[in-house]
Chains A and B, each alone.
Chain A
Amino acid sequence: MSNHPTFLAFRTNLEAGKTSCVEQVTYFLNRIEERKSLNCFLEVFGDEALLRAKEVDERVRTGKAGKLAGMVVALKDNICFKGHRISAASKILGSFSSIYSATVVERLLHEDAIIIGRANCDEFAMGSSNENSAFGPVLNPIDEQRSPGGSSGGSAAAVAAGLCHVALGSDTGGSIRQPASFCGLVGMKPTYGRISRYGLIAYASSFDQIGPLTHTIADAALLLEVIAGADGYDSTASSLPVEAYSANLNPKNKPSVALITEFMNDTRWDREIHHKIQKIVKLLQDNGHTTGEASFPYLDHMVPAYYVLTTAEASSNLSRYGGVLYGYRSPNATDIDSTYRKSRSEGFGPEVKRRILLGTFVLSSGYYDAYYSNAQKVRRILRDKTNEILEKFDFILLPTTPKTAFKLGEISDPVTMYLEDIFTVQANLTGLPAISIPLGTHSNGMPFGLQLIGRKFSEQQMLAFASELEAL
């Protein structure tokens, strides 16, 4: 038995010669088999992972191993890995295999991480429940009746169920943080531009960020410092140097924290989550932190602005899937037009089609100003107003989700589902970093996370403060 839920625990034993990468991978492969019904993985790279584990063990033996030696990682199935299939949990990609690796994958492999498989998710990362996967929903390992959240549901469930050390997800409107909250994990969406998006299948380019799903802040910090940083293949990736997050997790100061008045004064939100926040605030005050309230009367504008802009970008980003160059081509196609029509009608799932139609509509002539332009203006205002709060406070403290994990099939109305994102879209609309930390367990037995939003590129301070909160 070599159950090391966290990578750091494994690394300690590995360095002490008490375990090996092969032993760890074997353990995870068995666990994956045992918990197959969770539907976490679309594909497990079993033999390859074992082979690689052997190689890494050899490098560990000769002292040449990288800093993630033996870290077993699940990749959300929208991150490209050369020579491996990738589907974005959609039928439209058919049996497509990527001919290159995402920058984050290159960096993981360079530091001797071991990629164990492709994690299930919502189709093209569109969803909050993982029910939009063309390959069936993922079950929440804590309560299999419930959703693990989405869209990075497979990634979160795999980590929570102990099928790998960590996972990479992508977060366009909460797709890392919400599943982290539902599954009791740490989930981080770094500042837009902190991590290269090269090799991440785009949903909404100006919102998407890759990020870690881990058991602990320490694992998240280590993973982030490896995958972050400038990349010549992504002009939106920042060239700002990456700090040594993992070596600086001891808080150096007492960050101040803002609570949003409109949330604190609104009784429609879950009372237990609300109380937990108040309790945390009390503890922070006791520890010498400044806390205060800030007004942000824009909660109701965030989700509409988010869905107008993300669907607009998605409608364009998903144009490349048409059955012409690669992926699924309808056998019923007879000419170029029907190739597009039929391949896309048959290949995309209903939620993806809904968003493509919505995005096409908001960009079409005659409607562009009313929808796309206005939503862009709202985005600018939200960014300015959020930054105003962060000029006075170091962090904003919010719930990650309105409630704990809902039951699979519980929410059928798309707009109700979209409103699940109410606390998470702010960080994507503003490009700011945010992290969900597992801080509570509800009376219904399910975990929930609390969320910090920080200033641009404040990952260092955010991880240090999060580790203080983790220890509370």
Chain B
Amino acid sequence: MMDMYDKYEPVIGLEVHMQLLTKSKAYASDSASYGAQPNHHISPITLGHPGTLPRSNKAVVEFAVKLGLAVGSTIRRENQYARKNYFYADLPKGYQITQDTTPICNGGSITIKNQEDGSSRTINITRIHMEEDAGKSIHDQDPFDTLVDLNRAGIALLEVVSEPEIRTSSEAYQYLTEIRKLVRYLEICDGNMEEGSMRCDANISIRLKGDKVLNQRTEVKNMNSIRNVQRAIDYEVKRQIEEVEAGRKIAGETRSFDAVHGTTYAMRSKELANDYRYFPEPDLQPILVEQDYIESIRNRMPALPQELFHKYTSTLGLSEYDAALITDNKQMALYFEELIAHTSNFKSAVNWMMGGVKSYLNENAVEIEGFPLKPAELAALIQLIDAGKISHTAATQKLFPAMIAQPGSNPESLAAALNLLIESSGDALKEWAEAAIAKYPEKVAEFKAGKTGLLGLFMGELMKQSKGKADPKAADQILRELLSI
């Protein structure tokens, strides 16, 4: 018999709110920085005092256009703001300024990868719109009262709404990981779900596999990590299947995720939900986003992870694994980009990144920003190896640590000072070769008798004598000469 859970297919759409890294708030000049004393970033505008009016922060539009371009949205020219009306203590004006019927971005998509079989899927984006955050209600600090911190009130947000095309919790995980990577590359949001600067609500329903209908959905909130979004979806899908199998109806409601128990519970019924009475915000003129403005932003767009991944795998011939590791983190990718601007030995560049550089970062628990060598210095090291001036072994074991110990020094001079440069001049080579031959007189006879495989033995000894500095080619030549006499 088929497992009852296998009969169903989850239908998931995600709404992602991201706090923008603008200096000031969306409609007031108050600082938007995180971590200030409660209620210190508040002006009469943030407080919604009588007579105050919103002032548009142009950076919000710029950030929205950046994200829209990055996911391939259509950018709207005439942007109206709307008011979403509801009463709450952390909403000083009694309404939130948002966009209703005219979101700044329509369409676009995020490509996700199946971690198991490596296949790709495209998740379409419905819309991205600009809005302001509410303040923060703190229920657990005072035994009697709810405390309100309005520092967050008015901070600029973008909301990204996906089509209900996500089918598994791991796809949701991938989708959020990609979005977070993207906004970090764009430097428009720090993507920190633990601090709430990126938040996700999941709209979840189920249907029998093969059905096309969209069934009653629930909205699940309060997941403070990407992992918890995955857990919440897993639980909620299972719960819905069990409800339906037990002959019960799914109630349209908003549910909260309980991270301790890994469950969801009902917060409020959708039927009792607010009628938000959206209407055009009369205090703000529509903002016009002209084509040349969009182009100026397009021209200043940073490289994006998908593009870099494609470039590394197709043009540079890197493996998908290596390319994924490098593009996973923007600063890492930027370092690599600069590195390959200084050397054309891409393979070696990747090996250094995955080898020496990565080990250093792991051992010292730092990010790439904390790595002491500039990409140009690392490239110079690669250059020394490629030019045959230093052996790979000497480079990894001696020179690389020495460069890290003395960042900013010239790798070649440093190698010379450490006596690591390969010797290809006759005299020194000849001396080492003679010493190597002299060490094994009986092997010389065997060699001369035709056991040519012994050349490796002499070579090894020569290298030992030279402490790795001998140029292998020249050494080979001189050994053959000396042994053939």
Q: Which residues of A contact B (CB under 8 A)?
A: 78-80, 86, 88, 93, 96, 98-100, 102, 197-202, 204-206, 232-236, 312-313, 315-316, 318-320, 322, 324-326, 336, 340, 360, 363-365, 368, 372
**Which A-chain residue is minimally distant from B137 (CB atoms)?**
A336
B277 touches A364 (CB 8 A): yes
B93 touches A235 (CB 8 A): no
A198 touches B52 (CB 8 A): yes
B42-50, B362-370, B389-397, B419-427 - interface stretch: B42-50
Return the 5 tightest CB-CB contacts between A and B, nearest first: A319-B94, A205-B282, A206-B282, A363-B277, A199-B51
**Which A-chain residue is minimally distant from B52 (CB atoms)?**
A198
CA distance A321 to B101 in the complex (A): 27
CB contacts (< 8 Å) of A320 on chain B: these are: 48, 50, 92-94
Q: A235-B56, A236-B285, A320-B92 are in contact. Are A312 and B279 (CB under 8 A)?
A: yes
Q: A100-B44, A316-B83 are in contact. Are A236 and B283 (CB under 8 A)?
A: yes
CB contacts (< 8 Å) of B54 on chain A: these are: 235
Is B271 engaged at the interface, CB distance under 8 Å to the other chain? no
8 further interface pairs, Cβ-Cβ under 8 Å (given A79-B51, A80-B50): A202-B51, A206-B282, A233-B53, A236-B282, A312-B279, A319-B87, A319-B95, A325-B48
Partner of B50, one of A96, A340, A372: A96
Quick one: which of B44, B87, B95 has the most chain A CB within 10 A?
A: B87
A313 touches B282 (CB 8 A): yes
Is B55 engaged at the interface, CB distance under 8 Å to the other chain? yes
**Which B-chain residue is minimally distant from A335 (CB atoms)?**
B146
Closest-CB distance, B371 to chain A (whole angstroms): 45
Per-position binary interface string of chain B over residues 86-122, scored 1 when its CB falls under 8 Å from any chain A CB and 0 otherwise: 0111001111000000000000000000000000000
CB contacts (< 8 Å) of A336 on chain B: these are: 88-89, 146
CA distance A234 to B94 in the complex (A): 20
CA distance A201 to B44 in the complex (A): 13
Quick one: which of B49, B92, B93 has the most chain A CB within 10 A?
A: B49
CA distance A324 to B284 in the complex (A): 25
CB contacts (< 8 Å) of A363 on chain B: these are: 85, 277-279
CB contacts (< 8 Å) of A199 on chain B: these are: 51-52
CB contacts (< 8 Å) of A368 on chain B: these are: 277, 279
CA distance A443 to B381 in the complex (A): 103
What does DSSP make chain A's interface, helix, strand, loop or mixed? loop
Closest-CB distance, B225 to chain A (whole angstroms): 29
Is B275 engaged at the interface, CB distance under 8 Å to the other chain? yes
CB contacts (< 8 Å) of B51 on chain A: these are: 78-80, 98, 102, 197-202
CA distance A86 to B278 in the complex (A): 29
CB contacts (< 8 Å) of B146 on chain A: these are: 336
CB contacts (< 8 Å) of A102 on chain B: these are: 51
CB contacts (< 8 Å) of B49 on chain A: these are: 98-100, 326
CA distance A202 to B282 in the complex (A): 11
Q: A80-B51, A96-B50, A198-B53 are in contact. Are A340 and B87 (CB under 8 A)?
A: yes
B53 touches A372 (CB 8 A): no
CA distance A80 to B87 in the complex (A): 24
Q: List 8 A-B contacts (CB under 8 A).
A: A100-B49, A197-B53, A235-B54, A236-B283, A324-B89, A326-B49, A365-B275, A368-B279
CB contacts (< 8 Å) of A204 on chain B: these are: 282
Q: Which residues of B contact A (CB under 8 A)?
A: 44, 47-56, 83, 85, 87-89, 92-95, 146, 275, 277-279, 282-285
A-B contact number at CB 8 A: 96
Closest-CB distance, A191 to chain B (whole angstroms): 15
**Which B-chain residue is minimally distant from A364 (CB atoms)?**
B275
Closest-CB distance, A442 to chain B (whole angstroms): 37
Closest-CB distance, A192 to chain B (whole angstroms): 10
CB contacts (< 8 Å) of A319 on chain B: these are: 85, 87, 93-95
B87 touches A201 (CB 8 A): no
Closest-CB distance, B81 to chain A (whole angstroms): 10
B55 touches A316 (CB 8 A): no
Quick one: which of B83, B88, B92, B283 has the most chain A CB within 10 A?
A: B283
CA distance A313 to B85 in the complex (A): 11
CA distance A363 to B84 in the complex (A): 11
CB contacts (< 8 Å) of A86 on chain B: these are: 50
CA distance A200 to B283 in the complex (A): 12
CA distance A78 to B47 in the complex (A): 18
Quick one: which of A99, A206, A319 has the most chain B CB within 10 A?
A: A319
**Which A-chain residue is minimally distant from B85 (CB atoms)?**
A316
Partner of A99, one of B44, B279, B283: B44
Q: A201-B51, A325-B92, A336-B89 are in contact. Are A316 and B277 (CB under 8 A)?
A: yes
Closest-CB distance, B102 to chain A (whole angstroms): 15
CA distance A420 to B56 in the complex (A): 37
CA distance A205 to B277 in the complex (A): 16
Q: A322-B94, A360-B277 are in contact. Are A235 and B85 (CB under 8 A)?
A: no
CB contacts (< 8 Å) of A325 on chain B: these are: 47-48, 92
CA distance A204 to B283 in the complex (A): 10
B55 touches A235 (CB 8 A): yes
CB contacts (< 8 Å) of A316 on chain B: these are: 83, 85, 94-95, 277, 279
CA distance A360 to B279 in the complex (A): 11
**Which B-chain residue is minimally distant from A200 (CB atoms)?**
B51
Partner of A235, one of B48, B95, B278, B283: B283
CA distance A197 to B52 in the complex (A): 8
CB contacts (< 8 Å) of B275 on chain A: these are: 364-365
**Which B-chain residue is minimally distant from A80 (CB atoms)?**
B51
CB contacts (< 8 Å) of B56 on chain A: these are: 235
**Which A-chain residue is minimally distant from B287 (CB atoms)?**
A235
CB contacts (< 8 Å) of B52 on chain A: these are: 100, 198-199
CB contacts (< 8 Å) of A340 on chain B: these are: 87
CA distance A244 to B267 in the complex (A): 61
**Which B-chain residue is minimally distant from A318 (CB atoms)?**
B94
Quick one: which of A78, A102, A233, A372 has the most chain B CB within 10 A?
A: A233
**Which A-chain residue is minimally distant from B47 (CB atoms)?**
A325
B87 touches A322 (CB 8 A): yes
CB contacts (< 8 Å) of A93 on chain B: these are: 50
Closest-CB distance, A75 to chain B (whole angstroms): 12
**Which B-chain residue is minimally distant from A87 (CB atoms)?**
B50
Closest-CB distance, B27 to chain A (whole angstroms): 9
CB contacts (< 8 Å) of B283 on chain A: these are: 202, 205, 235-236
Q: A96-B50, A232-B55 are in contact. Are A372 and B94 (CB under 8 A)?
A: no
B95 touches A234 (CB 8 A): no
Closest-CB distance, B283 to chain A (whole angstroms): 5
